[in-house]
Amino acid sequence: MSYMRMNFTSQALSACVDVSIVMPTGRFSYFPPDQPRHHIMPGKKMKPQYQAGMKFQTVYVIQAGMGDDSYLMRTTNLERYAEENCVMLVIPSISNSFGVDTAYGVEYSAFITDELPVIIQTLFASSGKREDNFIMGCAAGGNAAVYNAVRHPEKYLACADLSGGIGVSFDLDKMKASKKMTHFALAVSTFPEELDGTTFDLADMTRKHIAAGTELPQMFFIRGSEEGRIGEAVDKDAEIAASLGYTVFYDNVQGGMHNAAFWDAQFERLLGELLPLKREPVMPE
């Protein structure tokens, strides 16, 4: 396994930003197959050799609301799941932003969907093909993942929302209500006054994509039975997304709570079973 933390100046954010990156390096060897070494345990096969031009499918992971890029690395086993399933993870730190281009002028969505993939695909062995790119998140990060997948369906094959109950939603009435919650300063300052017909209107954007013949990403919605209103918000998003034409996977996990232990178990399911991953490197043509 390989874990690194990169800090660079984002032009979209006009600020330095931290990004955690995981690569499944433990699956490969630089030794050729005909040159076994003493560190290979008896009975074990030689690992496949690194090849020039080899790339990896990439999953962009959006943190929970108050976390940073290191939060999920410290509280879940994401690194191990990436290794087991031969995928690269990119976890950007987006503060408490909802992952959108905010009304106060900071372009988090442009950072996530436009700037960051260019940098990652230029500096690392990340495949740039749509079929090799995915986005997922937990809590507010789940809403951010859905928003950016709906806004840019040409960039992601699939999207997963774990426990997403705060932020951009297919339920526009819910978003409008949150704008009136004056104690919820983040929502008031992040979203514009008008939502209908804007890039925050997920149903409207979806209909435009369908009219243009754009292929929609597959959507995964997972919530815990003990998540209360947050779980109900996930239910509603899954229902509306399915009615709009998305291929939707939905699960209400009995006993699941709004915490890292629940998300850890679902990350294992998503990377190991649910997401349409190749679970092998993308070899040069």
CATH number of the structural domain spanning residue 115: 3.40.50.1820
**90 lies in a domain?**
yes
pLDDT digits (tens, 9 = 90+) for 74-128: 999 999 999 999 999 999 999 888 999 988 889 999 999 999 999 999 999 999 9
Structure token pair of residue 275:
């997401």
**282 lies in a domain?**
no
pLDDT value at residue 12: 96
In whole angstroms, what is the distance from residue 219 CA to residue 22 CA?
23
pLDDT value at residue 140: 92
Residues in contact with 124: Cβ distance below 8 Å, sequence separation at least 6, in sequence order = 21, 23, 88
**279 lies in a domain?**
no
Angle subtended at Cα 247 by Cα 245 and Cα 252, rounded to the nearest 5 degrees: 115
* Domain encompassing residue 46: 2-274
In whole angstroms, what is the distance from residue 244 CA to residue 258 CA?
27
Structure token pair of residue 142:
């789940």
**99 lies in a domain?**
yes
- Please tell me the total count of domains within the chain: 1
Nearest to 89 by CA among 160, 147, 151, 13: 160
Residue 53's Cβ-count burial label (10 Å; 0-12, 13-18, 19+) is exposed
User: What would the mean pLDDT of 242-264 be, rounded to a whole number?
Assistant: 97
Phi/psi for 168 (5° steps) reads -65, 135
Q: Which helix (H) or strand (E) holds 21?
A: strand 15-23
pLDDT value at residue 67: 84
Rounded (10°) CA dihedral 247, 253, 258, 264: -80
pLDDT value at residue 96: 81
User: What would the mean pLDDT of 223-228 be, rounded to a whole number?
Assistant: 97
DSSP 182-247: TT-HHHHHHS-S--TTSTT-HHHHHHHHHHTTPPPPEEEEEEETT-HHHHHHHHHHHHHHHHHT--
Least confident among 63-77, 80-94, 148-162, 198-212:
63-77
**284 lies in a domain?**
no
In whole angstroms, what is the distance from residue 46 CA to residue 158 CA?
33
pLDDT value at residue 241: 98
**285 lies in a domain?**
no
pLDDT value at residue 178: 74
What is the percent of the chain with per-residue pLDDT over 90, rounded to a whole number? Answer: 77
**280 lies in a domain?**
no
In whole angstroms, what is the distance from residue 179 CA to residue 186 CA?
9
Cβ atoms of 69 and 8 closer than 8 Å: no
Q: What is the mean pLDDT of the chain?
A: 92
pLDDT value at residue 40: 63
User: What would the mean pLDDT of 236-260 be, rounded to a whole number?
Assistant: 98
In whole angstroms, what is the distance from residue 118 CA to residue 266 CA?
28
In whole angstroms, what is the distance from residue 123 CA to residue 116 CA?
11
Residue 44 has pLDDT above 80, yes or no: no
**What pTM did the predictor assign?**
0.94
